[in-house]
Amino acid sequence: MFNTTFVSLMRRGLLVCAAFASFASWANYPIRPIKIVVPFAPGGGTDSITRTLSSGMSQTLGQAVVVENKPGAGTIIGSDLVAKSAPDGYTLVMATFAHAVNPSLIAKLPFDTEKAFAPVVMVARGPNVLVVRADSPLKTFKDVMDTARAQPGKLSYASQGNGTSAHLAGEMFENLAKVKMTHVPYRGAGPAMTDLLGGQVDMMFATAAAAGPHVAAGKLRALAVTTPERSPVMRAVPTVAEFVTGYAVESWYGLFAPAGTPADVISKLNVAIKQATQSADFKKKLEPEGLIVSTGSPQELEDYVRKEEARWRKIVTENNIKPD
């Protein structure tokens, strides 16, 4: 009897000690460097924004925040690495538009998007921009609509590949406006922009980062932005929604951790990231992208992505879109 009672007390003591040690560990978080996985190659907009953000996070958290590029398979390789990482707050992924589209675009993902990740915080949101060459006969977005209706399939639009934001922006326009255009996918935004500038395609729903320098140089003309509201950095450019009711396409950046990451750790990261987005350096980095800071709670990011996933699943299914 004595031995049984003693063993029981010892077990309880060990459980209490373990719980205390775990609490102490999370209370002192972070105690080592944090890694943010960027599921794209170095040098792009996502990489640049994440590196600027990581610097601000480091100052707040008192630990190095390093960026690791894991490109491939439409962000799936990098996302899968994080999905299978320890849920301890030391490995995050910078998710983008593809995070909400891949579940409907890819038949068998190596992870369940809804169950594999814990939302941390939305970072920023912004538009794609419908652009044409400066010498194009399409002077306004109304011209695009009128031509697409009068001559189905005549107008061509480029994208950086099937299922990308530039592609789905065009598909949504076709669905809602009841028009038909010709999609021309490329292996990346660079080749797509090159052919647009060269006259091989008529237009592109490009990111603001890709289109901005060419618009500023007078080589491209911006006809409309894809966000529901006009962009703060392109106020003179109308929205597609001003012509097509219900139209909305956004580029966005949001951070996720592996599912099971403690709530206290998520909270610390959320606060640190919000502080980092308020720095002058970070806001300056967003300007070329046409993005605005749009932080909030983890639940707000979760709700946003779920709505996006449902919206794009409808477009992908109705238009029978397949990956490259």
This prediction has a pTM of 0.82
pLDDT digits (tens, 9 = 90+) for 17-64: 444 444 445 578 999 999 999 998 887 778 888 999 999 999 999 999
Whole-number pLDDT of residue 92: 98
3-state per-residue secondary structure call for the chain: CHHHHHHHHHHHHHHHHHHHHHHHHHHCCCCCCEEEEECCCCCCHHHHHHHHHHHHHHHHHCCCEEEEECCCHHHHHHHHHHHCCCCCCCEEEEECHHHHHHHHHCCCCCCCHHHHEEEEEEEEEEEEEEEEECCCCCCCHHHHHHHHHHCCCCCEEEECCCCCHHHHHHHHHHHHHCCCCEEEECCCHHHHHHHHHHCCCCEEEEEHHHHHHHHHCCCEEEEEECCCCCCCCCCCCCEHHHCCCCCCCEEEEEEEEECCCCHHHHHHHHHHHHHHHCCHHHHHHHHHHCCEECCCCHHHHHHHHHHHHHHHHHHHHHCCCCCC
Domains of the chain: 10-126+252-318 (3.40.190.150), 127-242 (3.40.190.10)
Condensed to tens digits (0 to 9), the pLDDT of residues 253-300 reads: 999 999 999 999 999 999 999 999 999 888 888 877 778 899 999 999
Q: Give me the chain's average pLDDT, please.
A: 89
